[in-house]
A and B are shown apart, each in its own frame.
Chain A
Amino acid sequence: MANILWLSAITCNGNSHSFLNLPSLEEFLGRHNFLYHTILPSTFSLRDIFELKVYESIDILVLEGTLDSDLKKFDINFEDILVEYAKRAKYILTVGTCATFGGIFMQKHSNRYGFLYKNYTAHNRFLSFKEKSVSVSGCPILPEILAGVIDMLSSNLPLSLDEYNRPKSFYGWMVHNGCTRNEYFEYKIDNHNFGELEGCMFYEHGCQATYTRGSCNKILWNEVNSKTRVGEPCHGCTEPDFPKDNLWQTTKHMGIPAKLPLGVPKRAYLSLAGVAKAFKIERFYKNILEEGDS
């Protein structure tokens, strides 16, 4: 059982609400205790939190939202409170892309940042806490990932982390893995149109799933679906530079997507694409549910 304290900086509360969608929420609440949560009943009031009246041990400090050096709540500097609890917590989870990398609310504000990172750059403000921090990025997070990390930490299971402190168990895959539109990518069928069941959004419509780390198509959202399965491009919301500009269009150089699948050299991509495109496989140009087809 872990004592969890959930603190919000500048946020839309999206991670708080996404967490409520955890399918095994009942069991989770039976195992763990919220010293504070933004929505659920908790041991302490927000006033207690800001008056530093929490005397229980803190196993997990959850931070949601973008940090701002000037942010005050109840005339108290938010970062002073954050540091107090960060010192005492055994682990710190930065939950969501805002708390991890700065996210949307950092844009056009020079004094805003995530807990350890500002976009791709590590900053020193909270460096002393890095050892006990874990990044759980996403806009919002998948509830299964947050619960999984908390359970792994409280069972003393080892967490292997990537270069941005994200647990590889969840961020070692690309969002592309498990997408039901994968065949259209494999065979380089580049005529995707919105409003259809078919096609891959990589070539024209800005899909970032092949270079975005996450488990959206492995765990699935709300147990049933994902953005890319339904036909919405992945916007790269787990990555340090979310949101990039021009999210619905693939930037290309000489007709080739400017960003290629993670780690794939341009030459390898072009060779593969050339071979795949040489075969015009009829099935991929037909509607899946078309009447009278076999």
Chain B
Amino acid sequence: MKDINKDNNLPTKSNSLPTKPCPLTPTNSKTIEVIEKIEGEAVVEYSFDGDRVDDVKIKFFQSRHIEKILIGKSVNDALVINPRVCGICNHAHLIATVRAIEDCYDSIEVPKNAKILREITLSLELLQNHFKWFYLTIEPLLGFDVQILKATKPSQLISKMIAMLAGQYPHNSYAIPGGVVGALTPLEIVGFKSSLNSLIKIFQESLIDVDLQNFVSCDRIDVMLSKSGDMPRAMQTILDKGYTELGKSNDKFIVFGEGLFKSGKSIKTRVATNIDTKYVESFDIKQSEAKLATYKGKFYEVGPLSRAMLLKTPLIKEAHRKFQDSLFSRILARVCEVPRLLLYTQELIEQIYLNRPFYIEPKILTNGEGVGVVEAARGSLIHKVSVRDGKIEDYQITTPTQWNLSFNTKENPTPVQKALIRSKKSDPLELIFKAFDVCSVCTVK
């Protein structure tokens, strides 16, 4: 092997430049933006009508065909394959998978300990996502220097907490039909609680210095802004820059998962709770490797803002009253899930009883159809499986990004299209786009 410290091996300009004109070069009425450092990458094509965005197309490239890879495999192999849909929300895919498989049974008993553990590890994954997104994606777009360690310190601690209960993070498969693979000892419980306290402290010292319980009932934007921390600083910056009119979308929200959240849909603030995944459809998009998702043929936004609209979270209700479904409300809603999830995790860990079962062996599954729904960091994630003779006959995954960030016609726009159309060329288009948070790796076929 060569010595790394010798010869610089610099290329010359002439032999490394592409000879063809680069396909990323913009034309007069169109610009093509590479969106990177999301989960994967995408290309956004803007067409302009004078100074304003006239239409938007979002294209993803890599296709993995994980649904095709699953066909013919033993049903429980999906527990190992599916977390590999996504490096950042792998655990949501595991929990959706185990729920879809359990739903195939006419009846199956899952012990409460296992249900609680799954809810804890899933909530931790949401927290991990929220920290990474706020510090690595949003802050730099507001003009702040990127604070890498403020993202990675909490996300490392959270990963460690998941590992205490589930073996490792990312990519464990500790949830299996009938419960979880192992059991806990008092050692994991005390270690977990101590880490949770450290995480709460990190939240207070970095994002916002508040008492968790008080903060979740706070309904005043000015009170939130008066606190110290990177969250009020970011929200104040959005106000100061006059971004509160930006990113307004269709004002239609949908939530399929439960747990900490409530399922239902909300058109502006009008809530209906009788929804059913059987009305969810997904369609291929020409020119892109992604799909788009609809409910009864209509587009809805999924994710933290939708969850807050359904829960009627006081602070987000107030933000929506003042600034509707703008990027202000969208970003605030996501960060405000952090204290709720921390409190929820605190409550849940108290409900583990070490002397009760973590797993009850189910009978062998031969045939069935099932649906598994979870609220992942970016919104509702739906897995549908059909099983025949113990093998996977069909598998369908509908991801949050398919709801929020696919594209359709400008007359009937998807949430992100609507949020961008009519924006000015000079507006922070990337911020509007990334306020939804894209997961490209999840979304591609």
A residues lining the B interface (CB < 8 Å): 2, 8-18, 20-21, 23, 25-26, 29, 38-41, 45-47, 50-52, 55-59, 65, 71-76, 84, 88, 90-91, 104-105, 107-109, 131-132, 139-140, 153-154, 156, 159, 193-197, 216, 221-232, 235, 237, 243, 245-249, 289
B156–A13 touching, CB < 8 Å: no
Provide the residues of chain A in CB contact with B17, threshold 8 Å.
51-52
How big is the B interface, by class? 35 or more
A10–B2 Cα distance when bound, in Å, is 29
Partner of B149, one of A15, A26, A159, A223: A26
Partner of A14, one of B2, B65, B68, B170: B170
A11–B360 touching, CB < 8 Å: no
B179 at the interface (CB under 8 A from A): yes
B218 at the interface (CB under 8 A from A): no
Q: Pull 9 A–B residue pairs with CB atoms less than 8 Å apart, ordered by A.
A: A20-B152, A20-B155, A39-B132, A41-B140, A73-B41, A108-B65, A132-B2, A195-B357, A232-B181
A247–B68 touching, CB < 8 Å: no
B34–A225 touching, CB < 8 Å: no
Question: Would you list which residues of chain B between 140 and 179 have a CB under 8 Å from chain A?
Answer: 140, 146, 148-149, 151-152, 155-156, 159-160, 162-174, 176, 178-179
B11–A55 touching, CB < 8 Å: yes
B39–A13 touching, CB < 8 Å: yes
B169–A55 touching, CB < 8 Å: no
Provide the residues of chain B in CB contact with A25, threshold 8 Å.
148-149, 152, 156
B168–A221 touching, CB < 8 Å: yes
Provide the residues of chain A in CB contact with B39, threshold 8 Å.
13
Provide the residues of chain B in CB contact with A75, threshold 8 Å.
23
Total A-B residue pairs with C-beta atoms closer than 8 Å? Answer: 245
Provide the residues of chain A in CB contact with B149, threshold 8 Å.
25-26
B181–A41 touching, CB < 8 Å: no
Provide the residues of chain B in CB contact with A71, threshold 8 Å.
61-62
B24–A248 touching, CB < 8 Å: no
A74–B23 touching, CB < 8 Å: yes
Partner of A222, one of B3, B111, B168: B168
- How distant is B396 from chain A, measured CB to nearest CB, in Å? 17
B441 at the interface (CB under 8 A from A): yes
Query: Please, which residue of chain A has its CB at the minimum distance from the CB of B74?
Result: A246
- Which of B77-85, B201-209, B259-267, B313-321 has 4 or more CB atoms under 8 Å from chain A? B77-85
Provide the residues of chain A in CB contact with B365, threshold 8 Å.
none
Provide the residues of chain B in CB contact with A56, threshold 8 Å.
10
A194–B86 touching, CB < 8 Å: no
- Contacts A57-B8, A226-B168; is A10 near B62 (CB within 8 Å)? yes
Query: Please, which residue of chain B has its CB at the minimum distance from the CB of A229?
Result: B167
- How distant is A268 from chain B, measured CB to nearest CB, in Å? 30
Provide the residues of chain B in CB contact with A91, threshold 8 Å.
1-2, 4
A9–B111 Cα distance when bound, in Å, is 41
- Contacts A105-B69, A195-B357; is A140 near B176 (CB within 8 Å)? no
B168–A88 touching, CB < 8 Å: no
B271 at the interface (CB under 8 A from A): no
B10–A159 touching, CB < 8 Å: no
B90–A51 touching, CB < 8 Å: no
Partner of B24, one of A47, A107, A243, A246: A47
B36 at the interface (CB under 8 A from A): yes
Which 5 A/B pairs are nearest by Cβ-Cβ distance? A195-B359, A231-B182, A221-B168, A13-B87, A230-B167
B40 at the interface (CB under 8 A from A): yes
A84–B140 Cα distance when bound, in Å, is 31
B34–A46 touching, CB < 8 Å: yes
B167–A226 touching, CB < 8 Å: yes
B183–A231 touching, CB < 8 Å: yes
Provide the residues of chain A in CB contact with B180, threshold 8 Å.
194-195
A18–B88 Cα distance when bound, in Å, is 9
- How distant is B1 from chain A, measured CB to nearest CB, in Å? 6
Provide the residues of chain A in CB contact with B152, threshold 8 Å.
20-21, 25
Provide the residues of chain B in CB contact with A224, threshold 8 Å.
160, 163-164, 191
B167–A248 touching, CB < 8 Å: no
- How distant is B169 from chain A, measured CB to nearest CB, in Å? 6
- How distant is A90 from chain B, measured CB to nearest CB, in Å? 5
Query: Please, which residue of chain B has its CB at the minimum distance from the CB of A60?
Result: B4
A221–B87 touching, CB < 8 Å: no
- How distant is B186 from chain A, measured CB to nearest CB, in Å? 9
- How distant is A272 from chain B, measured CB to nearest CB, in Å? 27
Provide the residues of chain A in CB contact with B40, threshold 8 Å.
8, 11, 13, 38
A14–B77 touching, CB < 8 Å: no
Query: Please, which residue of chain B has its CB at the minimum distance from the CB of A8?
Result: B40
Provide the residues of chain B in CB contact with A41, threshold 8 Å.
140, 146, 148
Provide the residues of chain A in CB contact with B136, threshold 8 Å.
39-40
A50–B24 touching, CB < 8 Å: yes
B107 at the interface (CB under 8 A from A): no
Partner of B179, one of A88, A105, A194: A194
Provide the residues of chain B in CB contact with A84, threshold 8 Å.
16
- How distant is A246 from chain B, measured CB to nearest CB, in Å? 5
- Contacts A55-B11, A194-B182; is A12 near B169 (CB within 8 Å)? no
- Encode B63-75 as 1/0 by CB contact (under 8 A) with A: 1111011000110
Query: Please, which residue of chain A has its CB at the minimum distance from the CB of B16?
Result: A52
Q: A195-B357, A228-B167 given. 6 additional CB < 8 A pairs?
A: A12-B441, A17-B88, A196-B182, A224-B163, A225-B168, A226-B167
B43 at the interface (CB under 8 A from A): yes
B69–A108 touching, CB < 8 Å: yes
Partner of A23, one of B65, B156, B163, B178: B156
A237–B90 Cα distance when bound, in Å, is 16
B87–A195 touching, CB < 8 Å: no
Query: Please, which residue of chain A has its CB at the minimum distance from the CB of B149?
Result: A26
Partner of B84, one of A39, A47, A104, A245: A104
A65–B166 Cα distance when bound, in Å, is 25
B65–A109 touching, CB < 8 Å: yes
Query: Please, which residue of chain A has its CB at the minimum distance from the CB of B77?
Result: A247
- Contacts A13-B86, A57-B10, A227-B172; is A21 near B74 (CB within 8 Å)? no
A193–B361 touching, CB < 8 Å: yes
A227–B94 Cα distance when bound, in Å, is 14
Query: Please, which residue of chain B has its CB at the minimum distance from the CB of A105?
Result: B64
- How distant is A180 from chain B, measured CB to nearest CB, in Å? 11
A236–B160 Cα distance when bound, in Å, is 22
A17–B165 Cα distance when bound, in Å, is 19
Provide the residues of chain A in CB contact with B174, threshold 8 Å.
227, 230-232
Provide the residues of chain A in CB contact with B274, threshold 8 Å.
none
